[in-house]
A and B are shown apart, each in its own frame.
Chain A
Amino acid sequence: MSPMPDNLARRGEPNGAAVLKGVQRITMSIFRSGEFKIAALTSALLIASLGPRIASATLGEPEMTVQSDVAQLRASIKSSQDRAGYRVHEIQLPGGTLLREFVAPDGNVFAVAWNGPTKPNLRQALGKYFDTYVSAPKAKFADRRHVNVQQGDLVVQARGHMRAFSGRAYLASAIPAGVNLGDLH
């Protein structure tokens, strides 16, 4: 990953306060859950050291690697929500598409999903899994409207049409217990 240019780093700052609140929230909820205490402590320290530049991450990578996505995608964080068993960062891409990144209690991104008028840069959002996606063989009856890729642990499913793209990618083995696949969108 190339270093983030200064102008992109500055662009992320207005979201800093909201993101910090999100960090506090997730840290507290992790403590409340009584699980991952050591991991949470470590994460909290790392997250705090990154300060307002925290945003979101890339599939299969820690949440702290994050803001590279927001910066690289010239995007902004719209919201960060805690849900039962995971956290969602919602990233607003400049063209109107929403990219959601799902973070497991272990601090790693286990899924990304998108919905909007253009496709997101999946090389950024899928990270090291992008090449696996691109090199997957085409299914029989492939048309221009659907993606259904399952390569090892990686699942990519998308559907839609011009000016309406929707899809998701997840790591099957990384889905936290109790998370409904139907909620990953």
Chain B
Amino acid sequence: MVMLRAVRMGLSVALCLSAISCGGGGGGRTSTTPPPPPPAVNTTSVIVDQGPKDASGNVVGSVNTLFTSVTVCVPGSSASCQTIDHIQVDSGSYGLRLLAPVLTLTLPVETLSNGNSLLECTGFLDGYSWGPVALADLTIAGETAKSLPVQVIGDSRFTTVPSTCSGTGGTQEDTVAKFGANGILGIGPFQLDCGNCDTVATNGLYYACATATNCVETLVPTAMQVPNPVTLFAADNNGIIIDLPTVAPTGAVTVSGQLIFGIDTQSNNQSGAQTVLTLDGMAELLMTFNGQTLAQSFIDSGSNGIYFADSNIATCTTTGLTTFYCPANTLSLGLSIQGANNGVMVNNLVFTVGNTETMVTTAPTDTYNVLPELAGTLPAGNAGSFDYGLAFFYGKRVAVAVEGSKTSVGTGPYIAF
């Protein structure tokens, strides 16, 4: 089946190359139909570096965090626009979120049918971000999403966080310093940041605010929820590809690559012979490591390390690093990954675990923002997980297909490489 698909794709590529532009050729027939517009530029650069500067002008400092730039405009305007750098590229979340302190535009806040403003409490594992859902025209590469619902985090007009939001715990991440980025571009395999907020009000996510201090949890029509922005592009909207070069095992100060929109929609985003791993309803898959079957595992550009449980590997002793691994010598370990529903199996993928203390205290790695061997612990247990972060993407071309969308090699949600 895979072979057949590859052959079919090879044919379509060959046909494409023989015409002046894909879909534009006419085999000698004359036609008055104008040629279709050229495909959008679907590629933008991404970088792993030290991160943005905070409000005081200090670099926030980040490790294995992938950034890009986006341009947002007030809907319908070509003049009221702003390009914002250091937006984190996150395959483990959904939606564009911008930090209000760096946003110079006033974007219109979405209004529910009862006239209330729509606000969101975005939950991250380590905290939450509170702010209005506003509309913006997003441009990234040559792609545009018009009137895209985005979250504005830390908006000074809405400073009272509901107790059911802060009650989800952790840090309120409403400044660049606390968020570690000027915003986040969630381009994971789902369409929306909530699976049931059109039918369940009490998720602690969306709030209707009659005033800035009077907010209650609310249902939200799906069109008003914060979506994966890719799904609103006119084309190239079935997923993304993150293409990063190989980096030295010990790391680098920075690494640059490409974020490509669409899968099998243009000549530069063909699937080829990629291995396709289907994802389950939580965008997770099964990994097998060290005899443990870890059914809640994930590959995630938004994780800054490789996180797993292995009590045989020494953890660090320095305060603040005790949940990270510190083996005496760099370890090469094997991992198997299987798509959801007994899907495709990738056997014995090798990853390496370095000594975190050495990395952060010894030149030159102490100045590196790219640390492919950074690995940390997870609590062991039967509902175990292996979280393979950005290090997975180094030296790979990784496609993330959005749920329900078709490519030449499968139907999303999947991850392929």
B residues within 8 Å of A by Cβ?
63, 65, 90, 92-94, 122-127, 163-164, 166-171, 186, 188, 190, 193-196, 200, 202-205, 282-284, 296, 298, 300, 302-305, 307, 320-321, 323-324, 360, 374, 376-383, 385, 387, 389
- B126 close to A162 (CB less than 8 A): no
Q: What separation, in Å, do the CA atoms of A32 and B156 have in the docked complex? A: 60
A153 interface contact, C-beta 8 A: no
Q: Are B126 and A141 touching (Cβ within 8 A)?
A: no
Given contacts A115-B383, A121-B164, A157-B379, contact A162 B204 (CB under 8 A): no
Q: How far is the CA of A164 from the CA of B320 in the complex (A)?
A: 26
A122 near B126 (CB under 8 angstroms)? no
Q: Pick the residue among B90, B304, B379 that contacts A141 (CB under 8 A).
A: B304
A95 touches B374 (CB 8 A): no
The interface-forming segment of A33-41, A56-64, A130-138 is A130-138
Q: Do A162 and B93 have beta carbons less than 8 Å apart?
A: yes
Q: Give the nearest-CB partner of A134 in chain B.
A: B169
Closest to A75 in B: B202
Choose among A95, A145, A166, A181 the residue that contacts B300 (Cβ–Cβ < 8 A): A145
Cβ B323 vs Cβ A162 within 8 A:
no
Top 8 A-B pairs, shortest CB-CB distance: A123-B167, A161-B92, A164-B282, A95-B203, A122-B169, A162-B93, A144-B124, A121-B167
Q: Are B190 and A158 in contact (CB under 8 A)?
A: no
Taking the complex as formed, is A163 at the interface, i.e. its CB lies under 8 A from any CB of chain B?
yes
Q: Report the separation of the CA atoms of residues A69 and B122 in the bound assembly, to the nearest whole angstrom.
A: 22
Please classify the interface of chain B as helix (H, G, I), strand (E, B), loop, or mixed, using the class held by over half of its residues: loop
The residue in chain A whose Cβ has the minimal distance to the Cβ of B128 is A119
B169/A163 in contact, CB under 8 A: no
Give the number of A-B contacts (CB < 8 Å).
168
Is there contact, CB below 8 Å, between A124 and B126? no
Which residue of B163, B170, B193, B202 contacts A95 across the interface (Cβ within 8 Å)? B202
* Closest CB in chain A relative to B279 CB, distance in Å: 10
Verify if A140 is at the interface (C-beta below 8 Å from B): yes
Knowing A74-B202, A118-B205 touch, does A183 contact B382 (C-beta < 8 A)? yes
B63–A141 touching, CB < 8 Å: yes
Q: Are A121 and B168 also in contact (CB < 8 A) when A138-B126, A142-B126, A161-B125 are?
A: yes
User: Using Cβ atoms and an 8 Å threshold, which residues of chain B touch A133?
Assistant: 169-170
Measured between beta carbons, the chain A residues less than 8 angstroms from B125 are 144-147, 158-161, 165, 167
Q: Does A177 contact B (CB under 8 A)?
A: no
Query: Can you list 9 A-B contacts (CB < 8 A)?
Result: A123-B167, A133-B170, A134-B169, A145-B125, A145-B302, A146-B376, A159-B379, A162-B124, A163-B190
The CA-CA distance from A121 to B381 in the complex, in Å, is 23
9 new A-B contacts at CB < 8 Å, known A121-B204, A162-B188, A182-B380: A93-B202, A119-B168, A121-B168, A143-B302, A159-B387, A162-B94, A163-B195, A164-B282, A183-B381
Q: How far is the CB of B213 from chain A (nearest CB, A)?
A: 19
Chain A: minimal CB distance from B237 (Å): 20
Q: CB within 8 A of B385: which of A134, A162, A166, A184?
A: A166
- Asked if A1 is an interface residue, CB under 8 A from chain B, the answer is no
Q: Is the CB of A182 within 8 A of B381?
A: yes
